[in-house]
Every structure is written in structure tokens, then in C-alpha cells.
Amino acid sequence: MNPSYDAVAAIAQHRCEYCRAPELAFNFPFEVEHIIPKSKQGSDSLDNLALACRSCNLHKSNHISIIDPDTQTETTLFNPRQDTWENHFQITSRQEIFGLTAIGRVTVICLNMNNSSQIFARRLWIQWNLFP
């Protein structure tokens, strides 16, 4: 396990810092990921580490930005250490995560936050009062 897990999980309150999945509902600890990947000279300091579910971490991979399809502009992904989740995302009545800003929009797309598995799980977490 990443030696920074305890500190990062405490900051994240044991939720995925991207899709807000509750770690409690899983049978394995979430992953400590590098916001700026090590392959792009990201550091191991706490201000560059975030807690992520497997789905978000796999889809984020080494991305730090993607092209926003609405503006055709290279747009940085949500940074949990710099950005406030509520400013960039909201949950719709269909349990989808909606990007309120360009940052939110590209993050939802890049991390595939509204795939059918994510929506199904999110509905269960809501029924169990584990989400949002």
C-alpha cells in the first residue's frame, strides 16, 4: 500500500476525490494516485496525491488535460488539491455527474464517470445513504 495512504485517505474522507465513490462500499482500499503523474515529473508530496477509485484511476491514467469537445480547447482535469468539487460538478436527478465548468466537463469525459456501472453503483450508494 502507498505509504501516504493514511494521510491521503484522511484528506479525502475515504471517498474517491473525482467521482465521490464511498470507499466504505468496496472490499479493497482506494488507490493513491498522482494528480500530476510521475511520468510528467509529478511529486510524491501530499499536494500531488489524491484518493481515487479503480475506475477513475484507470481512466485518468497519465492524463492531466484533454480537449474540451465543446470548445476544442486543451483543458486541465479537476485537481482535488486546487479545485473545489462543488464548483465543478453536480449530481443530476438521474444520478449522473454533470460538469458545471470546462474542467468538470472534461473530467467527467476523461474519467468516464457516467458509464453504466458507475450509474448503477451510484444508485445503490444513494439507497444506502453513502452518497453523495
Site membership for Zn ion, residue 53 (CB under 5 A): yes
Cβ at position 53, least distance to Zn ion in Å? 3
| Nearest residue (CB) to Zn ion, 75 versus 121 | 121
Q: Which part of the chain contacts Zn ion (CB under 5 A), choosing from 21-29, 60-68, 69-77, 93-101?
A: 21-29
Q: How far apart are CA 78 and CA 61, in angstroms?
A: 14
Q: How far apart are CA 45 and CA 98, in angstroms?
A: 30
Q: How far apart are CA 89 and CA 109, in angstroms?
A: 12
Site membership for Zn ion, residue 19 (CB under 5 A): yes
Q: How far apart are CA 58 and CA 35, in angstroms?
A: 13
Q: Looking up cell 467527467, which residue turns up? A: 108
Site membership for Zn ion, residue 109 (CB under 5 A): no
Site membership for Zn ion, residue 121 (CB under 5 A): no
Q: How far apart are CA 56 and CA 89, in angstroms?
A: 15
Q: Which part of the chain contacts Zn ion (CB under 5 A), choosing from 48-56, 68-76, 92-100, 119-127?
A: 48-56
Whether the CB-CB separation of 96 and 39 falls below 8 Å is answered with no
Size of the site for Zn ion (CB under 5 A): 6
Q: Which part of the chain contacts Zn ion (CB under 5 A), choosing from 52-60, 64-72, 96-104, 122-130?
A: 52-60
Binding site for Zn ion (CB under 5 A): 16, 18-19, 21, 53, 56
